[in-house]
Structure 1
């Protein structure tokens, strides 16, 4: 299952920050189309029989090392965008989230007081998988639950999905918006190792430069 709250504590953070104005734009794809692009040994994590690809622009604020107060003057705010899909490490059961140009203008809607199972599945992931120098690495994440709102698209022009090897998305995307989570703790990025089975998952991520409009 995917948890609404962080599934584990990041007791020793490698980096701390806040994530602001996060937009989640998701499309469903056939599982086999997503699996061909996932590095071994990751398996696509499915919802309603489909794999999902998400475009997630946000601002990373007050980026700092552990022990540095969030109110320290001069801390950077960095725009970032991830193109991600959702995967499971087959031996450990850990789930995760695993970039091109875009122009996105969204219209935030009403707060989502009671997130549905799909709302949580698409947004609440507590580790990221990335491949660096040929090695699969896992980064744990902890923060307060997303305060989600609905969202509508005013402008969406993107080439990121195709640049990653997918066909052009069909149909309207599933949209969410979140104003901020302020207490983000990122653990050290370590090689993904075999562990006893755990009910956890996360995104397979690729970061790309943020577009001029979000």
Structure 2
């Protein structure tokens, strides 16, 4: 079974919680069996599936000009590097989202604040990103919490733009919200942005133990099935809502 998603996403209604720009972003993805990730998802959601498989994403990027509501970007703290490990989820209302297993950040204040306010599994890491022509070089090593030293290095070459992204590329990237567990309940946090500008990517080098640390050992032993390099997008998040019955 395949899931067709709209790359434009639904309109965001209600108050705006925060906004940010995602830039210098690479998507690496591996196909896995849905039953393997199901125990790692919050109550009330299930693995989202495309052609019988679900996916594990390893995604390094730069967060820029993050801020709350319609206010100005937060100085210093609003700009940081991030690498996340994410899974793909769908709930009974048909909302297709992501579930974060970990989010590395090089800002301690971001990691602590996100954990306290939203229970998102941010960690504090030593990180770098270098850009040389069409090659991006990302590196990260976790400082806190354990396992300390988890991280790795990703080197990717950006290729030609995808004029017509295939169904899998849309499935992996057209995600306009996240499912998360907080205060004993499952929440849906919506976001919106223009459709991704996607480019082909070539993986030149990969060292990683973040995926294994997130509960999925052995996944990155095989080459990723999808490598994409994205153009920057500006995104806005809405207020969280409780998932019914979860």
- Scaled by the length of structure 1, the TM-score of the pair is 0.82
Q: Which runs of 5+ in 1 are unaligned?
A: 195-214
SS of 1:119's equivalent in the other structure is: helix
Q: Structure 1 residues 31, 74: closer, same or farther in 2, change over 3 A?
A: closer
Question: 1:40 — aligned with what?
Answer: 43
Alignment of 1:157-196 (within 5 A): 157-169=207-219, 170-173=221-224, 174-182=226-234, 184-193=235-244
Segments of structure 2 that go 5 or more residues without pairing to the other structure are 103-149
Identify the residue that residue 6 of structure 2 maps to in structure 1: 3
Please say if residues 23 and 64 of structure 2, whose CA atoms lie closer than 8 Å, have aligned partners that are also in contact: yes
Once the two structures are TM-superposed, the CA of residue 17 in structure 1 deviates from its matched residue by 1.3
Task: Return the offset for 1:11.
Answer: 4.5
Q: Deviations over 1:45-66 (max 9, x none)?
A: 1111111110111111111223
**What is the RMSD of the two structures over their aligned residues, measured on CA atoms?**
2.0
When the two structures are superposed, what TM-score results if normalisation uses the length of structure 2?
0.72
Shift of 1:191: 2.3
Q: Which structure is richer in relative contact order (CA contacts within 8 A, separation 6 or more)?
A: 1
Secondary structure at the counterpart of residue 32 of structure 1: helix
Which structure shows the bigger proportion of residues in helix conformation?
A: 2
> How is 1:193-212 mapped onto 2 (pairs within 5 angstroms)?
193=244
**Corresponding position of 1:86:** 88
CA displacement 1:61-102 (0-9 Å, x = unmatched): 1112233356x976731111221111111x322221012312
CA distance in 1, matches of 2:48, 2:97: 9
